[in-house]
Structure 1
Amino acid sequence: MTFTPFTADFDRRVADTLQRWRVPGVAFSVLHKESSWSKGYGLADIESKAPVEHATTLFFGASTTKAHLCAAWAIYLASDANQSKPPDERISWRTPMATIIPQDFVLSEPTRTAQVTLEDCLSHRTGLPRHEMSTKKGTLRQITRNLRHLPMHNSLREEHEYCNQMFFAASYALEVVTGKSASAFMKETLWHPLGMQHTYGGLRDARGAGGSIAQGYSWSKFASDPEWENVELIKESALDAPERSGAGFIVTTVDDYAKWMRAFLQPSTGPLNDDIVKNLWAPRSHLSPHDPINIPFEGVLAYGLGWFITTYKSNLVHWHTGEIDGYGALVMLVPSLELGVSFLSNGQTAHTSLKGLAVDLIDILLGDSRHEVLEKMDRFFIDDSRDHAEKNRTARQRLYPDAPPTPTIPLTLALKDYLGTYRNIAYGPITLNLLQLGDCTTQFDSTTYLVCRTMQNHSLPRTFTFTHINAENWLVTRFQTGTPVVNPDNSPYRTALRARTLVSTAGQVEAIGITMEPALPDFFFWFMKES
């Protein structure tokens, strides 16, 4: 019997899920053997009431981009341009990055610089943590050269440690060896041969082609909030960040992603081949099978080159999610069933809240019509939201367990002396201003004085607030969306950090140290005050 995914029953489940989690819109594509189906649900823009069209509505694919970069590298490695080189100049997955881009790929540890290979970068096993806020507007070369200022966390190949920075470096290396932008090389070797005529390398590329990009949205509350029914949808500005090439810049449609999935499930029909796909899917780093990202899958959890690898009901699954301000995505391939499912959405946490719908399609094909995975994912989404909300609520107690409930030691200087611009060699400049009532619709704690509305020249716009704890110690709250802070006490997109200010013997603020990388909670990055 021919598998038909978009039944009236499935349509109802999609509508119910979109309503439950306040997701504006989503488009699905399903590939099964020789057949493919796509369908859009909901709205691409709430204000204009424009519907999601599966063939033409563009979304950010976010981190599903990583598989494209890895596939592009695989094509280059197998190309005559590479294979015709003398053996000592030929690049392979195990070639050290410092050999490919020697002047630019320099890490904070000289030994690590010499050891890190191309496949280490593309499988998240270099030991470098995210350092997400170090990514500044500019070129891929500039971002790559900034790696030398970023401290490591784990040993090489010891742990899976997700890191976009290394994908930026690998994207730059691809540009160096091909003499083309990563976007141009992907178009030439992947997207156009596959007929992906509505896939673009970033916002400018998509808009330049006249594409219709869905408006992205985030939420003002956690899904676990008792007042979730009154949640506000926040319009997010589409990120114009070409420097995120290779890690999260792709803009595409689900119709094109059906073609992308076929390239892996039926590699003989496109620019990839069986050997390339097998290599890309070979595990390189391993995660705990109990990692929350593995829900609702089971068993081993690994990462290949741009793909997570796990099992579901004894079937091997290759998948990747994506999240960027205002958008969520998922691509999931089950080779044993010749099945691929993908969705693109204009809701920021849709990669989690809608994941159950994608897995439900696997269940349908397996003859399981109980839809238990939907209930499981709904419970997980609520529990995960509740855990994050509790983490927000207890941030002060967690980071400053010995601090009094209110400051007992005042700041050394007047508040105005702390204002101004500070600069760190790795993270760039921040400018501190007095917090004004207009910065938020909910009043902050009376000891929250300072705000950095964005890190200047930064790839991802963010807002920082500084709450005085005691003496020269501060609680920094980083709001992970570029929009104004709607509800600081219950914002789903925030991270708590520690900071301390340094006052010189001359009675001037010299610097502010901030634990910018959550994986390094005791490492203070010192931002020196500029005159």
Structure 2
Amino acid sequence: MLFGNLIAQFSSFLSLRLGTQQVPLGVTDPAGYNALGSVIDAQFSSYVEHVLDKEEIKGISLAVVKPGGDTEYGAWGIRTEDGEKMTSDTLFNIASCSKAFLASSVGILIDDYASGKNITPLPAGLSRLDWDYKVEDILPGEWILQDTWATEKANLRDILSHVSGLPGHDGSYGPGDSPKDVVRRLRYLTPAFELREHWLYNNQMYMIGAHIISTYTGSYVKYVKHKIFDALKMNSTTFSAREAERTGKLTQSWTAHSQRIPYWMPDDVMELNAGPGGIITNTVDLIKWLKMLLKSGVDPVTSNSVIPRSAFEAVTTAYAIMNGKGPTPEISINGYGMGWWRYSYQGHEVVAHSGGIPGFSSFVTFLPNDDVGVAVLINTGDKGFVARNLAFKVFEKVLQLPAGTEAKDPSKGKPDLPPRHQNSSTPLPLESYGGTYGDAGYGSFTLCPPNGTSFYCQQVLADFKLVDNAHSDPPAPPQSIPQLFGAWERMWGSHIRLVHHEENIFNISLTSLFPNGYGADKTPFETSEQDQYVGHVEFVVEEGKVDGLALFDTVPRKRRLGSVKERADAWFRKV
């Protein structure tokens, strides 16, 4: 996201048509191409067209900052089901690539207090803010975890570097929640590790980061708009889906199986999702962001400091180890700063982050020592590996590197679920497992057996039946396998499906049902992230009755000893 003067001069780009291929010409500044020539040329465009077809992607928008500041844009595919062509000014949700904006905004707020620009009173005992200040002191009376030591010692850097010890618990929040609700329920969520012991990705910590900024500025959304969007003239960038839709440039979105779905983050969840994944933007604005980052926080158009140098260094410097060994021969071990990964690719230092929500995949990255930046936006879900591959293809071309190992679809690289036996049976009648279950951290849901007769169960079962009978992709489990069904409105799904594995253990899927299809296609379908079960549940039976269910394997954690209840990620008591 940078250099508005270049965009003003070159607000549209030409396209060459080679057969059915869409080949954008690079947009560059008036000085012309640098010695490298065009990055987004016919060969690169042909590769992208191949990727679109192979990976079932509807549309891609990509932008490159080359050494010296020249800029190129490319757009392929469509942005609407009516066939409207993708363009570089098409708007996308960038999902977790939003986290860098949150972390930078915290750094700006720290500087505002240090310079006297913000005089909002801080809690007793604090005269300013800093990365090492305790969250408990910044949010007195709100920040309470199960782990007393983590409650007392966790600081801003810890929570934004994902080393709070608390796993994601992404099933614990839903569309009706506020950031205050999220903070309040932390005390009921089970930690997986001790503070700073292990890196664990956690969207809720970025909700809390946004809540901190709102607490001391009035509104995180308004603060980042003023401090970053307006400062860089990122005029198309917003948190509001309604605002983006009014421009007529917001792309429609699809699942990995080409099913169109609604925009996943409407305005009623804007406040909750703004920090971890709420920004809507395009590659034109992202170029302005990238060019500023390549200047260590200084806008090259105005020479103004947008992100204070100390804040820039803090957020882009790795603080925690994500992966202790490189995933491929070309990639080093991976560290995490605040809103940014840091590693090397074929010896070149990379700062990057990916993003993914249903219907959108993104990758934003820059090479600080090579003066290169890339933004890749995709209007299809579960395609983050494609976005990363395209960015690396740009690196290879700009830096004249050999072709590296391409990332694979993570949904195809996971081991199959344990085999299910179609004649499997449960220790108790399936009806015994039905009912309402509740947990203080997660809320409650009601499970229905296939023969449930309540009005609620009839509605739930009817929706699942429509979806299962439609034989959509991915296929539903065979009806001969015992299953339980429920409606549970969460941020990442609308329903849950439990599929029997053995004894009192069921695999669980947080899924979304579209019994009437969506868009032009009225075929019912079901969708869940990477078509994966999120873990398994084990029902605890005492004296022949179900006492509750334990949720397992939703996150990595220390091996625990004790009862099923004590070892669970979350314990839902049967009401």
TM-score by length of 1: 0.85
| CA positional deviation for 1:498 | 2.7
Q: Deviations over 1:388-433 (max 9, x none)?
A: 2x333x266xxxxxxx88546641x5x4454343221111121222
| CA positional deviation for 1:336 | 1.6
Checking the alignment, whether the CA contact within 8 Å between 1:327 and 1:346 is kept in structure 2 is yes
Q: Does 1:461 align with 2:497?
A: no
Q: Does 1:164 align with 2:195?
A: no
| CA positional deviation for 1:320 | 0.5
CA distance, structure 2, for counterparts of residue 141 and residue 428 of structure 1: 15
Which amino acid in the other structure matches residue 216 of structure 1?
S
Find the counterpart in structure 2 of residue 261 from structure 1: 290
| CA positional deviation for 1:385 | 4.1
Q: Does 1:357 align with 2:361?
A: no
Which residues of 2 match residues 118-133 of structure 1 at below 5 A? 118-133=156-171
Q: Does 1:421 align with 2:450?
A: no
Aligned equivalent of 2:155, options 113, 117, 131: 117
Checking the alignment, whether the CA contact within 8 Å between 2:494 and 2:510 is kept in structure 1 is yes
Checking the alignment, whether the CA contact within 8 Å between 1:43 and 1:51 is kept in structure 2 is yes
Q: Is 239-248 or 98-107 further displaced after alignment?
A: 239-248
| 4+ aligned runs moved over 6 Å, structure 1 | 82-87
Find the counterpart in structure 2 of residue 386 from structure 1: 412
Q: Secondary structure at the match of 1:71?
A: helix
Aligned equivalent of 1:187, options 212, 215, 225: 225
CA distance, structure 2, for counterparts of residue 352 and residue 106 of structure 1: 36
- Relative to 1, partners in 2 of residues 1:11 and 1:304: Cα closer, same or farther, differing over 3 Å? same
CA distance, structure 1, for counterparts of residue 526 and residue 227 of structure 2: 46
| CA positional deviation for 1:492 | 3.5
CA distance, structure 2, for counterparts of residue 5 and residue 246 of structure 1: 33
Checking the alignment, whether the CA contact within 8 Å between 1:516 and 1:525 is kept in structure 2 is no
Aligned equivalent of 1:476, options 501, 507, 516: 507
Find the counterpart in structure 2 of residue 105 from structure 1: 143
Q: Does 1:39 align with 2:74?
A: yes
Q: Secondary structure at the match of 1:492?
A: helix
Aligned equivalent of 1:62, options 85, 95, 98: 95
Checking the alignment, whether the CA contact within 8 Å between 1:466 and 1:474 is kept in structure 2 is no
| CA positional deviation for 1:283 | 1.6
CA distance, structure 1, for counterparts of residue 467 and residue 408 of structure 2: 29
Which residues of 2 match residues 55-454 of structure 1 at below 5 A? 55=89, 57-79=90-112, 80-81=115-116, 88-137=126-175, 138-180=177-219, 182-207=220-245, 209-220=246-257, 233-239=258-264, 240=266, 241-242=269-270, 243-266=272-295, 267-269=297-299, 270=304, 271-290=306-325, 292=327, 295=328, 297-368=330-401, 372-373=403-404, 376-377=405-406, 380-381=407-408, 384-388=410-414, 390-392=415-417, 394=418, 406-407=423-424, 410-411=427-428, 413=429, 415-433=430-448, 434=450, 435=461, 437-440=465-468, 441=471, 442=475, 444-445=477-478, 446-452=480-486, 454=487
| CA positional deviation for 1:463 | 3.4
- Segments of structure 2 that go 5 or more residues without pairing to the other structure are 1-33, 451-460, 516-523, 560-566
- Relative to 1, partners in 2 of residues 1:291 and 1:124: Cα closer, same or farther, differing over 3 Å? farther
Q: Is 250-259 or 429-438 further displaced after alignment?
A: 429-438
- Relative to 1, partners in 2 of residues 1:300 and 1:527: Cα closer, same or farther, differing over 3 Å? closer
CA distance, structure 2, for counterparts of residue 69 and residue 335 of structure 1: 20
Q: Deviations over 1:63-98 (max 9, x none)?
A: 000000011111111113477679842110011111
Which amino acid in the other structure matches residue 265 of structure 1?
L
| CA positional deviation for 1:470 | 4.8
Checking the alignment, whether the CA contact within 8 Å between 1:125 and 1:285 is kept in structure 2 is yes
| CA positional deviation for 1:62 | 0.6
| CA positional deviation for 1:508 | 5.7
CA distance, structure 1, for counterparts of residue 244 and residue 51 of structure 2: 29
CA distance, structure 2, for counterparts of residue 23 and residue 130 of structure 1: 28
CA distance, structure 2, for counterparts of residue 121 and residue 37 of structure 1: 36
Q: Secondary structure at the match of 2:191?
A: coil
Q: Is 76-85 or 92-101 further displaced after alignment?
A: 76-85
CA distance, structure 2, for counterparts of residue 289 and residue 281 of structure 1: 18
Percent of aligned pairs with the same amino acid: 22
CA distance, structure 2, for counterparts of residue 443 and residue 272 of structure 1: 49
| CA positional deviation for 1:479 | 4.4
| CA positional deviation for 1:141 | 0.8
| CA positional deviation for 1:288 | 2.4
Checking the alignment, whether the CA contact within 8 Å between 2:513 and 2:525 is kept in structure 1 is no
Q: Deviations over 1:324-359 (max 9, x none)?
A: 111100011012221100111112122202322211
| CA positional deviation for 1:322 | 0.6
Q: Does 1:500 align with 2:531?
A: no
Q: Secondary structure at the match of 1:113?
A: helix
Which amino acid in the other structure matches residue 136 of structure 1?
G
CA distance, structure 1, for counterparts of residue 555 and residue 332 of structure 2: 28
- Relative to 1, partners in 2 of residues 1:297 and 1:107: Cα closer, same or farther, differing over 3 Å? farther
Q: Deviations over 1:85-115 (max 9, x none)?
A: 7984211001111111112111111221010
Q: Deviations over 1:255-308 (max 9, x none)?
A: 11001111211233241243332222122111225354xx57522321111110
CA distance, structure 1, for counterparts of residue 48 and residue 200 of structure 2: 33
CA distance, structure 2, for counterparts of residue 58 and residue 526 of structure 1: 41
Q: Secondary structure at the match of 2:88?
A: coil
- Relative to 1, partners in 2 of residues 1:61 and 1:515: Cα closer, same or farther, differing over 3 Å? same
Q: Secondary structure at the match of 1:38?
A: strand
| CA positional deviation for 1:158 | 2.0
- Relative to 1, partners in 2 of residues 1:102 and 1:395: Cα closer, same or farther, differing over 3 Å? farther
| CA positional deviation for 1:27 | 0.4
RMSD of aligned Cα (Å): 2.7
